[in-house]
Amino acid sequence: MKQQFPDTHHDVSSTTIFGFWVYLMTDAVMFATFFATYVVLQGGTFGGPGIRDIVHLPFVLTETLLLLASSFTCGIAMLGVPKRETTKVIFWFFVTFVLGLIFLGMEFFEFNRLTADGHNWQTSAFLSAYFTLIGTHGLHIVAGLFFLPFFLAQLWRCGFSAAILRRLTCFRIYWQFIYLIWIFTFTIVYLIGVK
Amino acid sequence: MFFQHIKVRLAAIEYSDIFGRLTLEAFKHDAIEASVGISIIFGSIILVAVLTYYKLWTWLWTEWLTSVDHKKIGVMYLVVTVLMLFKGVVDALMMRAQQVLSVGDSFGYLTSSHYQQLFTAHGTTMIFFVAMGAVAALMNIIVPLQIGARDVAFPFLNNLSFWLFAVGASLLMVSLMIGEFSGAGWVGYPPLSGLEYNPGVGIDYWIWSLQISGIGSLLTGINFLVTIFKMRCPGMTLMKMPLFVWSVFNSVILIVFAFPILTATLAMLSLDRLLGMHFFTSDFGGSAMMYVNLIWAWGHPEVYILILPAFGVFSEVVATFSEKRLFGYVSMVWALISITILSFLVWLHHFFTMGAGPNVNTFFGFMTMIIAVPTGVKVFNWLFTMYKGKVHLTNPILWFLGFVFIFTIGGMTGVLMGVAPVDFQVHGSLFLIAHFHSMVVGGVLFGLIAGYVYWFPKIFGFKLNEKLGEYAWFCWMFGFLLTALPLYALGLMGATRRMDHYEASTGWAPLFVVAAIGAIIIFCGIGFQVLQLLVSFKERNKNRDLTGDPWNGRTLEWTTSSPPPVYNFAFIPEVKDRDAFWDQKQTGIPLHGEYKEIHMPKNTPLGFYIGVLSFTFSFGLIWYMMWLAAISFVGIVVCILLRLFDQHTDFYISAAEVKKIEEQTLKNKRFV
């Protein structure tokens, strides 16, 4: 592999994308901390509901599939990049956006149901950890959905500039990462939890 | 509906929609606390007056506050660090004075709550805003120069990191005037730091001060990891990097892996306090020990984040002033890497007494003792470098020798405490305090001071006065030993840490007096350093470094002028060997053709704006002014969007301009 030595120091795309990977690594460590805390505090239900009492697996599976689909459409969108197919890219990112939004809505619905039943994050350590872990993931989705339209607007206005390509690439990596985190959530919180 | 219980909580305290829980009470302090606040305000007024009188505001704004130049950001780190060091040292002196005065029937001059805030603020200040600040300063100024780069990978992010760091420091300072600071120790163990036992604003100040500056450090970590990976000049393979770069490289890897844990842990503590969650509470199934584990899973790597760059400085200093290639370069690199890995496997030694069981304690005890091996390798390598070298006893070498002595004492007591049964005896005693001060003062601080003296001419263009530096060194050495050695003894006699009063019958008083005298001598050392700076500045024309290479240096930062031009290198250097500059001196300085235009990043005020907004965001959350926090958050997002839509983030320095600057430098060199 050839090593590139840029003689200017401004944001070269490969540098930015590598930097973004490193950022995601730090994010992964943060999630790992929340996961570890969740696993430790899982039993701390303090007489309140445990994971088995609050989880409805088909619902969570639907969420998972939605996010999987959005991750997939995100990939399709990026396939339009080499040929500079603006409408294709924007369309598939739009689908990604909508799927992400539905996922978020379902997550919100789930939280709402729990708190309406009187099981909020103040009920027990388990629920604190549960809400924080799922909520942090949800906030990442919110951040992604918030910035995506701006990137698409830039793409629409300025075409495929280096900066926009870089941002779309970063978004794609980010979105896959968020999905990966969800797989861990699905496994550790839900599947192992109800076993 | 989600925020119902917050409303319940707010209904229970004195609260208004506009000022949150901020009332006039928050501004009332006792005489001693008030004097600190008043002197800060007074100092700020003088500063503003001077800046206005000399019409320096525009200069300050365009040349410094908005600068993305890594050298200027480094100098700004240095300024904040020095101010915070002064604050931290005053805290220390006040604690020493209290322990001298508060014996038997006398209760000293501080209230217990003020004393608790003092030791918390001292630890927080020294670790986060002095040691971290100084590491960030050196790494900012030196790393791009040593790897032959024109700036860091993400210059704007670098400016933002600095402002987040500065905001963390200013939150701590503001707590002295509005409200109070945490009294729960620098790592803030719950349940003491939880809402139930500490409902006031102190802990919140502490949390947000650490959280904001921690995010700044995390961004610095990412930035420098990428810089070192991607921005090295042609020919500089990993095994040709100067050891300071290697040490920073390992240090930033630790930052990248450790600081997210801190962010998450503080977030959870904050959620406990703000939203009434139960992560670390004593009831509702929470686990305070989880916090202790997490905070040290960050905290132990943190001490290595600080010490590794100090090791790096010594590697440079010892080689340069012995006029010899560093002994055992490869073993030095592998020692750094082993320390980096091992530092994640020892966190439990901070709480052997938790009761994890003999097997767990033994494992962590072993790991702790093993870390002494690579560290020992490094110390011996430095000493072997000096052996048969042409040693110049300059200031940096003096700091190195002081380090070897004090750090070895600290290291040996550290291994001692790695034995769990011994730790059960001295846990939480002054023995421990003396141990980690030996490491952090004798190791980190001496290293950073050595780096400061060594690179001072590179940064500012003139050398520091050697004589005054020697006096300062002597005071630090003598003063430190005078303070630390009694503390070791007191610890063995059973004196605990964080103690604001003790009985006369213990017979500890004389040793505390000796320790206090030591602290005063250290303070004199700092006085000499201030004097050194002033005298050197006054005589700067005499000590000017026109060659760019005052010490007969070995690495690339000495090839450029002092201070370096904004673009660092007119031509990107090419490296053939370790100690690239030394190699050039032997084989001939390479010739270059025509000057070319240089691409540089533009200054931007957005980092400063985001910094200010994160200050108001934190302040809003601390005092429950939710509207302020909300507006600030929106402001931060807007700033990020502005940056996203800014297409003019860089500019070119013309070839003619470069030629002008370079020819001036050459003229100066000939003048020498």
What domains appear along chain B, each with residue ranges and CATH number? 1-55 (no CATH), 56-588+599-604+649-671 (1.20.210.10)
Nearest chain A alpha carbon to B70: A9
A9-26 average pLDDT score: 84
Other residues' Cβ atoms within 10 Å of the Cβ of residue B143: 27
Q: Does B355 touch chain A (CB under 8 A)?
A: no
Q: Which chain A residues are Cβ-neighbours of B264 within 8 angstroms?
A: 30, 33-34, 37
pLDDT of residue A12: 65
| B55 phi-psi bin (left φ>0, alpha ψ -120 to 50, beta other) | left
Contact B155 A9 (CB under 8 A): yes
CB proximity under 8 Å: B 118-137 to A: none
**pTM, rounded to two decimals:** 0.95
Q: Decide: A41 and A123 in contact? Cβ < 8 Å.
A: no
Contact A126 B285 (CB under 8 A): yes
pLDDT of residue A73: 96
φ and ψ at residue B116, rounded to 5 degrees:
-65, -40
Residue ranges in B284-429 assigned as alpha helix (H): 288-322, 329-342, 358-386, 395-418, 420-426
Residue with token string 């919100």: A108
DSSP annotation of B328: T
Of A25, A132, A163, the CB nearest to B268: A132
* Residue B344: pLDDT over 90: yes
Contact A15 B276 (CB under 8 A): no
Give the pair of three-digit tokens for residue B598: 């240089």
* Residue B456: pLDDT over 80: yes
Q: What does the alpha-carbon distance between residue B228 and residue B531 come to, in Å, rounded to a whole number?
A: 36
Q: Decide: A23 and B157 in contact? Cβ < 8 Å.
A: no
* Residue A9: pLDDT over 70: no
Q: Is the preceding omega at residue B565 within 30 degrees of 0, hence cis?
A: no
- Helix, strand and coil percent figures for chain A, each rounded to 5: 80, 0, 20
Q: What does the alpha-carbon distance between residue B250 and residue B243 come to, in Å, rounded to a whole number?
A: 10
Q: Decide: A190 and A56 in contact? Cβ < 8 Å.
A: no
Q: Which residue has the higher pLDDT, B13 or A165?
A: A165
Of A26, A44, A45, the CB nearest to B256: A26
Q: Which chain B residues are Cβ-neighbours of A150 within 8 angstroms?
A: 641, 644-645
Picking from B403, B362, B407, the residue whose alpha carbon sits closest to that of residue B386 is B403
Q: What does the alpha-carbon distance between residue B667 and residue B657 come to, in Å, rounded to a whole number?
A: 16
Q: What does the alpha-carbon distance between residue A97 and residue A99 come to, in Å, rounded to a whole number?
A: 6
Give the pair of three-digit tokens for residue A137: 């993931």
* Residue B18: pLDDT over 90: no
* Residue B556: pLDDT over 70: yes
Picking from B285, B286, B314, B141, the residue whose alpha carbon sits closest to that of residue B224 is B141
B239-268 average pLDDT score: 97
Other residues' Cβ atoms within 10 Å of the Cβ of residue B668: 16
φ and ψ at residue B438, rounded to 5 degrees:
-60, -40
Contact A23 B222 (CB under 8 A): yes
Secondary structure (3-state) at B327 = coil
The 10 Å CB-count burial string (b at 16+, else e) for B356-380 is beeeebeebbebbbbbbebbebbbe
Q: Which chain A residues are Cβ-neighbours of B253 within 8 angstroms?
A: none
Q: Decide: A165 and A81 in contact? Cβ < 8 Å.
A: yes
Chain segment B179-202, per-residue pLDDT in tens: 999 999 999 999 999 998 999 999
Contact A122 B5 (CB under 8 A): yes
Of B230, B277, B290, the CB nearest to A18: B230
Q: Which chain B residues are Cβ-neighbours of A111 within 8 angstroms?
A: 2
Query: Which candidate in B160, B259, B277, B634 is best for mutational testing of the A interface (most A CBs within 10 A)?
Result: B277
Distant-in-sequence, close-in-space partners of B477: CB < 8 Å, separation ≥ 6: B402, B405, B406
Give the pair of three-digit tokens for residue B213: 């500056």
Shortest alpha-carbon distance between residue A73 and chain B (Å): 24
Query: Which candidate in A26, A46, A147 is best for mutational testing of the B interface (most B CBs within 10 A)?
Result: A26
pLDDT of residue A151: 95
Q: What does the alpha-carbon distance between residue A195 and residue B158 come to, in Å, rounded to a whole number?
A: 47
Contact A125 B230 (CB under 8 A): no
Contact A9 B151 (CB under 8 A): yes
Helix (H) or strand (E) holding B594, with range, is none
Residue ranges in B419-558 assigned as alpha helix (H): 420-426, 430-439, 446-460, 466-493, 509-538
Query: Which candidate in B152, B278, B596 is best for mutational testing of the A interface (most A CBs within 10 A)?
Result: B278
Contact B261 A33 (CB under 8 A): yes
Q: What does the alpha-carbon distance between residue B192 and residue B282 come to, in Å, rounded to a whole number?
A: 10
Of B154, B600, B650, the CB nearest to A19: B154
Q: Decide: B560 and B71 in contact? Cβ < 8 Å.
A: no
Q: Does B150 touch chain A (CB under 8 A)?
A: yes
Picking from B294, B259, B275, B262, the residue whose alpha carbon sits closest to that of residue B194 is B275
Q: Decide: B309 and B244 in contact? Cβ < 8 Å.
A: yes
Chain segment A76-135, per-residue pLDDT in tens: 999 999 889 999 999 999 999 999 999 999 999 999 999 999 898 999 999 999 999 999
Chain segment B257-316, per-residue pLDDT in tens: 999 999 999 999 999 999 999 999 999 999 999 999 999 999 999 999 999 999 999 999
pLDDT of residue A161: 87
CB proximity under 8 Å: B 282-301 to A: 283-287, 290, 294
Q: What does the alpha-carbon distance between residue A55 and residue A44 come to, in Å, rounded to a whole number?
A: 17
The 10 Å CB-count burial string (b at 16+, else e) for B147-163 is bbbbbbbbbbbbbbbbb
Q: Which chain B residues are Cβ-neighbours of A30 within 8 angstroms?
A: 260-261, 263-264
Shortest alpha-carbon distance between residue B54 and chain A (Å): 35
Shortest alpha-carbon distance between residue A32 and chain B (Å): 8
B93-100 average pLDDT score: 95
A54-194: CATH topology is Four Helix Bundle (Hemerythrin (Met), subunit A) (1.20.120)
CB proximity under 8 Å: B 209-238 to A: 218, 221-223, 225-226, 229-234
Contact B265 A23 (CB under 8 A): no
B331-356 average pLDDT score: 94
* Rg of chain B (C-alpha set): 25
DSSP annotation of A187: I
Chain segment B610-645, per-residue pLDDT in tens: 999 999 999 999 999 999 999 999 999 999 999 998
Picking from B621, B643, B645, B623, the residue whose alpha carbon sits closest to that of residue B632 is B621
